[in-house]
Amino acid sequence: DMDFVAVKLAEKIYDRKPIALGDSNQIQTRDIVYALGYPEDSISNKNYNTRDDVSTVDGTISKVTVTENVDIIEHTAPLNIGNSGGPLLDENDNVVGINTFIAGKKNYSIQINAIKKGLDTFGIPYVDGSGTSPIADTGMDTDEDAKNEEPEEPDNTAILVELQDAV
């Protein structure tokens, strides 16, 4: 089962740029990917975390497949307790997966297109890095719009959070 939730922030975030959701149909075996997260050993003694605490590890896509009706990416970017639920990025910094679980020495992420279907179903806006849907629908400006207009207040951002069972 895939259990995810989109969280609407109570306050606007002014100093962060939303990360774009890519197109997992465009990834291939041997593409380089990056798993981001907060490793347990680096945050266990803290009350809160900052972007300086984010760990990034790279790896290569081994397989793009469907297992038990779930679109997954098998890759070599090492996952651990702290980066499960975090983004799996492609070389263009677009999210192509959500880091999910480890089985043996294999690392797995849910393909982002499966997540985007859910966001679309519920009308939840996001920045689409694949170029297949207009960014204007998300209420966020493109880089070209930003050059031509004065900056506007950003909208509250939807954050994708995984609610996972113990694996």
Phi, psi dihedrals of residue 40, rounded to the nearest 5°: -55, -40
Lowest mean pLDDT among 20-24, 75-79, 155-159: 155-159
Measured distance CA(100)–CA(106) in Å, rounded: 11
pLDDT tens per residue across span 28-86: 999 999 999 877 666 666 677 777 778 899 999 999 999 888 899 999 999 987 778 89
pLDDT interval class at 92 (50, 70, 90): very high
The pLDDT, as a whole number, for residue 143 is 45
Cα separation values, 23 from 92, 95, 133, 150, Å: 11, 8, 11, 30
If one counts every other C-beta atom within 10 angstroms of the C-beta of residue 112, the result is: 30
**Locate tokens 């984010």: which residue?**
54
The pLDDT, as a whole number, for residue 13 is 78
Task: Say whether pLDDT at 141 is over 60.
Answer: no
Measured distance CA(70)–CA(39) in Å, rounded: 25
Please report, for the chain, how many H helices and E strands are present, in that order: 3, 8
Compute the C-alpha angle 76/80/81, nearest 5°: 155
Q: Hey, CA dihedral for 79, 55, 135, 8, is it positive or negative?
A: positive
Q: What type of residue is 37? A: G
Task: State the average pLDDT for the chain.
Answer: 77
Over pLDDT 70: what percentage of the chain?
70
Give the residue from 24, 27, 79, 23 showing the smallest Cα distance to 55.
Answer: 79
